[in-house]
Structure 1
């Protein structure tokens, strides 16, 4: 009895070790961040990625019972929100701490399927090494650190468990493994349908390829693949489960009910296995093709043309995590460095050759390679495959030593030393990176005060707050209002509207656009609601044929805005200044072709936090000198200088900001130097950016009191309310 359960106990012990190391390494960030007040608001931890507040808000609505008026009705009933709500009721965490700590814990569970796969391919010791390495890999740990409350925390767990059971099916068919594989395929789809669709569809394709080449006469495998295809099809979950139950019933050798009818049907169907596969393929094609094509188009298209024939920029190429990686970046994010990456890549090739069934993992590798084109977010999918390849190659190479050493003690000693050295060589760089990784919160703690002020002033969850999309998920969570743009907006439409409002040099134009978008946002017109927000405005005001003239007219004080029953707010945090020049590009375009009129390189918004007053000049960040007497801004390193247009000193007097401006004769560069004594910072800003609504409302608090009222002001953020 003892020997029977000992292997199981060892497996559990090794898995616990791998999970513990992963959690321990991630916990270091919890300790480090606790020392900084800006990681907290009202005593609660802030999250570390924008998307975290999407599911955090959805989960919060689910827990608080805001079902009918949830900010994200779909996400509220999606698996991440439901699972988090369950954890909230069974774990001793506050709601904010829950969102912060769940990624640390759940992401570490990826060690389980990696261990099981590696053990099946090598042995339990190399499985332990692979299970330790995968959760610590840089590309994965960076996206599953404390507060990174996003779908990434279980993005690999469910598909990899599905791969484990699919691997077992191909190795030796068992209906039980088919059922478990289908369960994890469904869970993967419920957790993140887009990535699961691509990964699992491709894996099934490679599994079918393997079957046709290596095991084509095993008809049971076609049935299994048909079941798995249906598992990842976008059909109603109840219909899916019923269909799967029926098909599994006919696949089973032991009929549990309706045996006579079942036997008759089976006897009349000649090609049952092929039929099940064809049913699965048909369901999948009908249900999934639209999503696959639309999501692919989102990532590869850099422009979109709306119905109004305005060519707008999409977010392709503007999101940091979608910026292409270099080979060296990919190596670092999957294995820690170039050497282990090369070893892992060689190991993957050897693994695919020696264990043909492992070809089902190829989609994970390919998706990580796509990060060379589509950005770092995809690199983490390669982590488990490279870990498996690395340790499989080590396992394969060490087995060759069997022919070199006859003495088992010497042989085992050599294997042990080499294994430990190579394992540490791969694991330690990733471990130290994870342990020392430091990521700032989405916004600093003092930037939340303005959102809290909006929450206190707001009278309804239907009130609207306008800001940039970086804060789109953050605002409903803290301000308890709706937004017009958020992180899931990828087409550029709401980016254009928000950019226009925040970047316009005409405050009346920003005010009018805010009113118009609110009207479009709340419309219940059956015809208008068919269109996106921008076209709703253009159709409503009969401007679809000449949108430019209509949009230009928004700066006219005689433009009549609609009456809006809900409150409209502007949220302008300090952190928006660093991205204002990029924000401007989404509306500063030629409407006919989408070309940016003033690219980001032609604009300036530089910040200098280190200021030394040398009486005759200011020394900025130890690199620049500014002479206020004559307006010369000089680079110490190059010796080059420019004459600025204006110098503004902004100081708080009582509850208001006062600006003292010095104008200079040379107007060629049109550069403004700003000394904000309240922020204790210098700014160098070009004319266009300086006149934008964001800069005017945040740095100067220069606003038209007939249009806006200031409801909160501090160093972190400003909140305004439209009149």
Structure 2
């Protein structure tokens, strides 16, 4: 048997071991919750990431129609409606629909288990890169660690159906093709690199920044270390054409044409002109614009955004409330990359040693750099550094093993040290028992709503629930995980946190203006792009249409009856109990002066579940007490009377009953005890009168404006009557 054949078999064996290990570890969550009814729908586990329902919606709509022509009018009419935002043209939806079509499993099974298998493919490029460095054992160890490291596992576990299931796999394949291209100078790797960029862009359109970083590093390497190598300039040109900001078929044609040219040596003398042309094409097609947009969104973010031209309205930016875009402490940062702070530090040292011993691994710096951006841009980026830092500690382990006097000790030392670095990550997986996005009872509400509502109807709720609402109820939403800018969130926040009268009118206005805006953009798309026309937010357009120059005055007018747009569809409010946990966040988006961005005083809202009855008092928090005899509320050193004390409780038929005791009308603070939830709320009068508290918590609805559709302890749905 030749050495090459033996190496190939060892490579395949290591890939199989690492792949099987990755899958097995992801099945621990399945084992932990097997048979737990609240996590099941249609006999299968539900997914545990909100964004997954976006891709699931697109795949569902594709499977309902045809995979060949999702843009055809008859397809649109039959399987998804105009402006429903269903991602039928997205890669994740198309790939999912393909697998669901060919595999003998339910759709729910496919979307739940797809991340388990696709994300585990990351072990393949890791081991192939190690093969290029002639250290397969390093590849196996790195693959085992990278496949289950905290952040990678968290975003690719069973049920975490999102683009992350290939977002590290594809750039790792890109790194592999770049390394092999530079090492071998074989033309086939020119094509592999360009095709990987095409696939990566198809799968994840936000891949611009990483691709550009790879290009910049290769350019630097070429100019400093390998200036006379024509092959490197060919590689750069292929990458530039693959990275253009045009449709995939155009780029595919360009790279095959270029590959054909590069196969003929007579064109080598024109390589600098071709490279210059490729760079020109990249910038002319707007290739750098998305990169700058991402930097602005994650690094140079502000608390409020200003509308362009017009009234110059100021809105609260959603990036300030998204946890994955926030700053993280070093320990969290280290744990998410390597599973343990000590492991991370050793891995970082090992990575630097690996760079010293194998200069070719310098091309992995963009992945490490993007991973370390987590310190500035948020925890989601840590996954990019996971496989590279895994190489670092794996390299150290193999170097330590080489110092062992016997083969047996070499093997034992590698096994022992590998188990040592895997253990904290395994313990994390064992303890990481995240719930599904919704529970079975909540999904029952949405599926029931889907049978009552038409597909053109809108459901108002906070953006966190937009994708699941559309998936289960097959209706339209105003906001979701991808459409939640400050200007979009403002009217929804306003509806949920203001009176029923104000909320009802804003709901009708926002829905009708949303549809009008969609139509306007569709009809004037070319003019908007060519002349860079501004499409104003719904709130700004409402302000102007109703004859105001000050949006604050327009919003005040909603306290009285105003002439509303003609009704074109029904509107429903979906109010889940779980929203109570984020109510203060919801208020942030409408609790500001839109004309100057000044934040108003935050409404008072306090929630207590870990309370204790001490006899004379109820301790709601460390320094908050409610005197049961005098009904006085003590907050720190301040003692206040309460306006009312409310107790809510469901009977055996799940009908809500309320006991409201008015105590002191001069007070602005009320206490609500939701007995069945074992939850206390302390709220001011503004919050008490908000739509969410009145309709969800108390079921006090204005019969002229709303009618109840579905009332359950988990979630409540009301239909707007105007």
TM-score (norm 2): 0.90
Q: Which moved further from structure 2: 617-626 or 346-355?
A: 617-626
Map of 2:514 onto structure 1: 521
Alignment-derived partner of residue 259 in structure 1: none
* TM-aligned CA distance change 1:225 to 1:72, over 3 Å: farther
* Cross-structure match for 2:466: 472
The 1:275/1:282 distance shift into structure 2, 3 A limit, reads: same
Give, in angstroms, the shift of residue 197 of structure 1: 1.1
Q: Does 1:224 align with 2:235?
A: yes
1:591 matched to 2:597? no
**Distance verdict in 2 for CA 1:563–1:674, change over 3 Å:** same
The CA deviation at 1:628 is: 3.4
Correspondence for 1:160 among 152, 172, 193: 172
Match of 2:322 among 319, 322, 328: 319
In 2: Cα distance, 1:652 partner to 1:383 partner: 49
Q: Give the alignment partner of residue 556 of structure 2, picking from 540, 549, 552.
A: 552
1:109 paired with 2:137, answer no
Shift of the alpha carbon at 1:448? 2.2
Decide which of 681, 689, 692 is 2:690's aligned counterpart: 692
Aligned to 1:252: 263
Contact 1:75 1:81 in 2 (8 A): yes
Query: Which segment is superposed worse, 197-206 or 121-130?
Result: 121-130
Looking at structure 2, the residues matched to 394 and 658 of structure 1 have their Cα atoms a distance apart, in angstroms, of: 65
Shift of 1:652: 4.3
Change over 3 Å in CA distance of 1:620–1:607 after alignment to 2 = closer
How much has 1:431 moved relative to structure 2? 2.3
CA separation in 2, counterparts of 1:482 and 1:607? 34
* 1:709 match: 707
Displacement of 1:73 in angstroms is 5.4
Change (3 A) 1:483 1:120: same
Match of 2:487 in 1: 493
Q: What is the match of residue 455 of structure 1?
A: 450
- CA distance in 1 between counterparts of 2:411 and 2:488 reads 59
SS at match of 1:720: strand
Q: Does 1:663 align with 2:662?
A: yes
Q: State the secondary structure of the residue aligned to 1:110.
A: helix
Question: Quick check: 1:151 aligned with 2:163?
Answer: yes
SS in 2 for 1:76: coil
Structure 1: gaps (5+ residues): 255-262
Could you tell me how far apart the structure 2 residues matched to 1:107 and 1:486 are? 25
User: C-alpha distance in 2, partners of 1:604/1:667?
Assistant: 18
What TM-score, normalized to structure 1?
0.90
Displacement of 1:40 in angstroms is 2.2
Correspondence 1:214-613 to 2 at 5 A? 214-253=225-264, 266=267, 271-287=269-285, 288-299=287-298, 300-302=300-302, 303-306=304-307, 307-396=310-399, 398-399=401-402, 401=403, 410-459=405-454, 461-504=455-498, 506-523=499-516, 524-525=519-520, 530-543=535-548, 545-556=549-560, 558-599=561-602, 603-608=604-609
Q: Distance in 1 between matches of 2:34 and 2:693?
A: 32
| CA contact 2:508–2:565 (8 Å) conserved in 1 | yes
Q: Aligned partners of 2:240 and 2:223: how far apart in 1?
A: 17
**Alpha-carbon distance in 2 for matches of 1:56, 1:45:** 14
User: 2: CA distance between counterparts of 1:185 and 1:562?
Assistant: 47
**What displacement does 1:467 show?**
0.5
**1:60-85 Cα distance to aligned partner (Å, 9 max, x none):** 11111284135665721121111111
- SS of 1:293's equivalent in the other structure is helix
SS for the counterpart of 2:256 is helix
* Separation of aligned partners in 2, 1:224 and 1:455: 52
**Structure 2 segments unaligned to the other structure (5+ residues):** 525-532
RMSD value over aligned CA atoms?
Answer: 2.6
Indicate the SS of the match to 1:9: helix
Displacement of 1:331 in angstroms is 0.6
Measured after TM superposition, the shift of residue 42 of structure 1 is 4.7
Residue pair 2:29, 2:430 contacting (<8 A) in 1 also: yes
Instruction: Measure how far apart 1:627 and its partner are.
Output: 3.8
Cα deviation digits, residues 174-232 of structure 1 (max 9, x gap): 011111121111111111121x2111210121111111111111111101111012112
Do the aligned residues in 2 keep the contact of 1:207 with 1:357 (CA within 8 Å)?
Answer: no
Note the C-alpha offset of 1:452. 2.1
